[in-house]
Amino acid sequence: MNKTRMIFLCSISFVLSLSAATQEESVALQSDDLMLPQNHRIALYLDCGTGNQEIRDGALSLKQLTGEDRIFPNIKGALAAAAADPDQVIFEIEGFDPNKQYVLGFTWWDADNKDRVQSVYFTAPSSAAEECVLPPVRACSFDADRSSWARLLLPLTEPYVQDGSLRVAFKKESGADAVVNEIWLLESPAATAAKRVVIVTGDDYWGHLWRSTAPALAAALREVDGLEVSVTESPALLGSPLLCHYDAVVIHFKNYEDRLPLHRSCEEGLQAYVDSGKGLALTHFSCGAFENWKGFERIAGRVYSPDLPAHDPHGPFALRMTDTTHPVTAQMEAFEVKDELYTCLTGTTPVTVLCESTSVVDKKVYPMAFIVDHDQARIFHCLLGHDASVYENPGARRLYNRA
């Protein structure tokens, strides 16, 4: 899609803040990063490309088996270094405790724009066969229309840790070579019984700063007792067999095929996920995700149409509850929020509207949150979420929390 067709009204102060966010600065992962699930600790962390190829924590060990040190020019900060290999960067993890749960995390970045497309494979000792756990995808995210690093989380479900060790391969599918900037292992007590939610992000329209909105949404959802919330910065997770580890998925991205094309398995994986009866939530411009996939409307209920006016000018408007019997909106009162009132949705899939607003431009009424009618799936779609302040609004925060 030609992105210039999507017209957004931005203030001068917003544009100035955006320009500051596009600098090629990078920071090392911090233990309090809101992308990491609660009640997990970073047991192992390897800063790749710095000469250190092995790290231990008690019985746990993480060793880099292939890949040479690489320094990317013109990159400031911790992610200037990476492990690189013409074919694949391979790591081996040993010493898993059967009484604990593990999540593998990593950062990759096609920092010099060499069109790197990579996939991830797991190999357990009990199986000689590799299994693709992340389909081919560009090794980066896009923040404010510029290539940026991407941090991903892959839960290590029982088949991969039951033998006490695991081999992880980052394979080059196309481009210059395979690269990995950081890799880490999270662990938590196996007794954790939380419902797991993953926020999937990593691309959006340039005026949507997902690096601030995704953590804000994660912080809001963590107020709900019993939710373990993670963030992964690549839509490719939707094509992973590991997606079923999560009880609910939040789509928090708008992908663009010309810069971050997604493998067909992402569409198939999302369809299979919702058909299995798991939970799905969509936020703000995720109505524009999978724009070239006709089947997405059946999942999202309503989707973005570039032929319609995008939204009212950014500003305050009121939301009225239209269904006070649904568990999401029962006993909720009308509230005001400063956001973008979307007028750009189309679709014929049956939905149950939970709340609505009236446009100040055309005076028509538009749904702001609704439930998609589906035989198995539980799907909530809300158009709120232009910037981080929306998730701090008590009404909007309560709406997402209850959903």
pLDDT (tens digit per residue) in 283-316: 999 999 999 999 999 999 999 999 998 899 999 9
Whole-prediction pTM:
0.92
Cβ–Cβ < 8 Å for 172, 87: yes
User: Nearest 5°: phi and psi at 19?
Assistant: -60, -35
**What confidence score (pLDDT) does residue 24 get?**
53
Q: Return the top range by mean pLDDT from 127-136, 156-165, 385-394.
A: 385-394
**What confidence score (pLDDT) does residue 186 get?**
97
Whether the pLDDT of residue 6 is over 90: the answer is no
Mean pLDDT of 337-344: 96
- In the chain, CATH 3.40.50.880 covers 214-402
Q: What is the mean pLDDT of the chain?
A: 91
**What confidence score (pLDDT) does residue 284 get?**
94
Mean pLDDT of 337-347: 95
Confidence of residue 18 (pLDDT cuts 50, 70, 90): very low
- In the chain, CATH 2.60.120 covers 25-190
Mean pLDDT of 246-273: 96
The class (CATH top level) of 25-190 is: mainly beta
**What confidence score (pLDDT) does residue 77 get?**
85
Terminal C-alpha separation, the chain: 31
**What confidence score (pLDDT) does residue 153 get?**
98
CATH superfamily, with its number, for domain 214-402: Class I glutamine amidotransferase (GATase) domain (3.40.50.880)
143-173 pLDDT tens trace: 999 999 999 999 998 889 888 899 999 999 9
53-82 pLDDT tens trace: 999 999 999 999 999 999 998 888 889 999
pLDDT > 90: percent of the chain: 81
Cβ–Cβ < 8 Å for 140, 150: yes
What is the C-alpha R_g of the chain? 21
| Cα(384)–Cα(59) distance, integer angstroms | 46
Mean pLDDT of 184-190: 92
| Cα(27)–Cα(25) distance, integer angstroms | 7
**What confidence score (pLDDT) does residue 25 get?**
61
Least confident of 13-27, 236-250, 292-306, 360-374: 13-27
Query: Could you say which DSSP state residue 196 is in?
Result: E
Tokens of 309: 């006016």
Tokens of 204: 């959006």
